[in-house]
Amino acid sequence: MKIAVLYGGVSAEREVSLSTGQQIIAALESKGHDVIGIDFHPSRLHELLDIEADVVFLGLHGKYGEDGRLQGLLDMLNIPYVGSGALASGIAMDKAKSKQFFKEAGIKIAKEKVLYKKSYKEDQTDLSFDFPAVVKPNREGSTIGLTIAHNREELLKGIAEAFMHDDTILVEQFVSGKEVTVAVMGEHGQMQALPVVEIEPKNAYYDYESKYAEGGSIHYVPARLDEETTALLQKQAVAAHEVLGCEVYSRVDFIVPHDGTLPVILEVNTLPGMTPTSLFPDAAKEIGMDYPAMIEKLIELSLKK
């Protein structure tokens, strides 16, 4: 097939997307496809308007890639693409809104406070929160703009940092536990949860370096969890994917608390990273699917949407 791969983009996750795109292009070429690589930029929309491809593979992350805007444009152009549609992508990217869907589906969420730049006043906003607390932009990924605050001073600095990345931010209760992720893949109504992956970061937290630096974290596949917890995580990952209306594939992140309470969902990634250190390919490898076969499978599923 003739396949266009969109990667790069203009979000804070550009570097990750460049690596993801290169990996996807190499995999598709190894399968004999005719591949067009496009370093996407919103100011060059003509590159999409004039595109001639059987399908578009989105290797983008963050704003203007994962947030539904590009998916909406491709829908209007009647160009098939890999992954979730515009609405599901937009909701998943909005952490505050998606958490309400998870709650309705019976999936445990962390206690939170949503702050808006327009109405936030440091001396007037109620910031009574148990420490440590997690401060993060509402619509960013890859832990960009994220702070773990242990006192009020760190909280205020974290809020200022997060507002540099988004007009809406979250302050959440910090949950101490294992960070795990569940890759989800399949056709509508037949979604399959892949083996749970446990992440042990080199740093104190699973930050940007731990995610993308070589040796930044250790991935245990399958995760070191009992059967009951594993089954619950897989069931809830599929439920989270479906309640947002996601399609084809996603990756659902959780914390499994050390105190033995129920897992806490963090977010659904509709365009998970596909770099050499990424988690989705590790989960696929565990069920005998190498990287090129996985990419091929995602295209096959997308053309059935």
Starting from the edge strand earliest in sequence, which strands make up the sheet with 34-40, in order? 34-40, 2-8, 55-58
Residue type present at position 178: K
Q: Which one from 66, 172, 198, 253 is the annotated catalytic residue? A: 253
Answer yes or no: 84 catalytic: no
Any catalytic annotation for residue 44? no
Candidates 143, 224, 225, 240; CA nearest to 184 is 240
Query: What string of DSSP letters covers 189-254?
Result: T--EEPPPEEEEESSSS--HHHHHSTTSEEEESS-S--HHHHHHHHHHHHHHHHHTT--EEEEEEE
Residue carrying structure tokens 């309705």:
104
Active-site hit among 37, 273, 278, 291: 273
- Report the number of secondary-structure helices (H) and strands (E) in the chain: 10, 13
Check 11, 89, 210, 251 and give the catalytic one: 251
Residue 78 among the catalytic residues: no
CB 301 within 8 A of CB 186: yes
**Residue from 172, 198, 267, 282 carrying the catalytic annotation:** 267
Does the annotation count 139 as an active-site position?
no
Active site residue 267: yes
Residue 251 annotated in active site:
yes
126 counts as catalytic? no
| 250 has catalytic annotation | no
Residue whose C-alpha is closest to residue 266's, from 257, 279, 254: 254
Q: Which of the residues 8, 9, 13, 291 is marked catalytic?
A: 13
Catalytic position from the list 84, 89, 142, 278:
142
Of 81, 206, 212, 291, catalytic: 212
Name the catalytic one among 19, 138, 250, 269: 269
Cα–Cα distance, 68 to 77 (Å, whole number): 14
The residues assigned a catalytic role are 13, 142, 212, 251, 253, 267, 269, 273
